[in-house]
Amino acid sequence: MSRRLAGNLLWMLAERGFQIGIGIGVVAILARALGPAGFAHFQYAQSIVLIAASFALVCGAEVVVPRLVATVAPSAQHALLAHAFVLRLGGGVIGYLLMCGYLGITSPGPEVWHAALWLGIAILLREPFGVVVAWMQAHTNNRPGTLFSVTALAIKAILVGSLFAAGVHKITGYVAAFALEAIVLAVLLTSYYFVRVHDRDFTWQTPQARELITAGALFGISFILMMGARRVDQLVLQPSVPPADFGAYAACMQILDNFTMVASILVAGVAPTYVYAKAAYADAHANIGRIALGIGTLGLIGGVAIAGCAPWIVRLLYGNAFEATVTLLRVAAVASALIFADVALTLLAVYLRKPRWIAVKWALVLSATLAFNLAVIPRYGSWGAIAGYALGNGVAVVVSLALWWLHRPVREVAAA
């Protein structure tokens, strides 16, 4: 069994690694094909879509997977998955409509509209059909899901590369490739599930749906707040600076998004053994502190390395048109190390099953970041956004560290 669990984890980590590699390559092609202004439109649309997509996580894997594990009958598992699918689809529709409403109010221009409408297709597909991935996780069999994800990613990368080779510089063709990725993945997941599960009778049960919503509410709210905190800087910055300046900032953040994803990979690799498997709270608490220190140090080393290599990285990925990204990246890369420590410290809330802590933390981060950005970005532009990025990361670490310290184990002192 331990070998199967280890293999399952390796497949999950391999998928993340492949996502990072392909993501970097695709973004580099987009930047060169669209130029700073076109890349700015793409990144702005993607930020809006990512925030809207968070509404589809009405009941995430942390809610669905444990219930699937506790449910033995295939018919009961299917009923659970069907309810989760409907709830996620409903959340996705709400997110898509909110996205359209935001675009209608802000009127960003036709290129952003086209990009958001195409990219937004993933809102309606990725999380709803992701219930199949949760079903695979419950059966400790992530290999098919990883292969399907890699296949869809490869198709997107091939299409993006082909469009670039054909000399296409319009944003519509590239965002259509992103939409196709979501469609292909949804088809593959659905086909796999239907071939292996034959008892698919389903009757809507309002109590079960209500229970799923209640159990996943705090996790869903936390994710919405987190995505808002991570992307609000771009929403505030875009109308305050020229497209080329926004494109330079977005390129910087794109590099750091891929870099900080390594933190989640590292934490996912060590948490099952060094945190979740510990029955004694004192052991788990101490290990979380050690993991945060170690991973935070690795993040700092990586951030300093990125800062030192910033000119080479930017020219290699984006070309000479993004020279303004270099100075932004040098400062922001060091600040991104805080994310590594925060991801590790969040293990405490997960271990103690305290989603309220995560929701409160991201509410504080979003409030502080939004207030700071609204006050500073109109005057200082991209540098104000960089300062807001560092502030948000700092607030997250301070809150997580305070929770870790305040809930340290109480040591019993023996009376003499």
Written as one string, the DSSP assignment of 48-88 is: HHHHHHGGG-SS-HHHHHHHHHH---HHHHHHHHHHHHHHH
Please indicate, yes or no, whether residues 273 and 384 belong to a single structural domain of this protein. Answer: yes
Q: What is the pLDDT of residue 278?
A: 85
Distance CA 265, CA 95 (A): 27
- Give domain status of residue 415, yes or no: no
**pLDDT of the residue at 228:** 94
Give, for 23, the enclosing helix (H) or strand (E). helix 2-53
Structure tokens given for 291? 């993991």
Which of 204, 231, 259 lies at the terminal end of a domain, its last residue? 204
* Predicted model pTM: 0.88
Residues 130, 263, single domain; the answer is no
- If asked whether residues 200 and 248 sit together in one domain, one would say no
**Are both 184 and 128 inside the same structural domain?**
yes
List Cβ neighbours of 394 (8 Å cut-off, separation of 6 or more).
335, 338
Co-location of 250 and 199 in the same domain: no
Domain that holds residue 312: 242-410
Give the count of domains, the chain: 2
- Going 71 to 214 to 121 to 252, the CA torsion angle's sign is negative
| Boundary (domain end) residue, out of 177, 204, 231 | 204
pLDDT of residue 366: 96
In this structure, are 265 and 146 located in the same domain?
A: no
Q: Indicate whether 125 and 32 sit together in one domain.
A: yes
Among candidate residues 151, 175, 204, the one where a domain is terminated = 204
Has residue 146 been placed in a domain? yes
Residues 269 and 143 in one domain: no
Q: Are residues 184 and 284 in the same domain?
A: no
Based on the fold, state whether residues 288 and 141 are members of the same structural domain. no
Q: Are residues 185 and 246 in the same domain?
A: no
pLDDT of residue 8: 59
Q: Could you tell me if residue 180 is inside a domain?
A: yes
- Written as tens digits, the pLDDT of the chain (416 aa) is 456 656 656 766 677 777 888 888 898 899 999 988 899 999 999 999 999 999 998 888 778 888 888 887 888 889 999 999 999 999 999 999 999 999 999 888 888 999 999 999 999 999 999 999 988 888 877 788 888 998 999 999 999 999 999 999 889 889 999 999 999 999 999 999 999 888 777 788 899 899 999 888 888 899 999 999 999 999 999 999 998 899 999 999 999 998 998 898 888 778 877 888 888 999 999 999 999 999 999 999 999 999 999 999 999 999 888 999 999 999 999 999 999 999 999 999 988 888 899 999 999 999 999 999 999 999 999 999 999 999 999 999 999 999 999 998 876 433 33
DSSP designation for 273 = I
Q: Indicate if 253 and 160 belong to the same structural domain.
A: no
Quick one: which of 375, 414, 373 has its CA closest to 390? 373
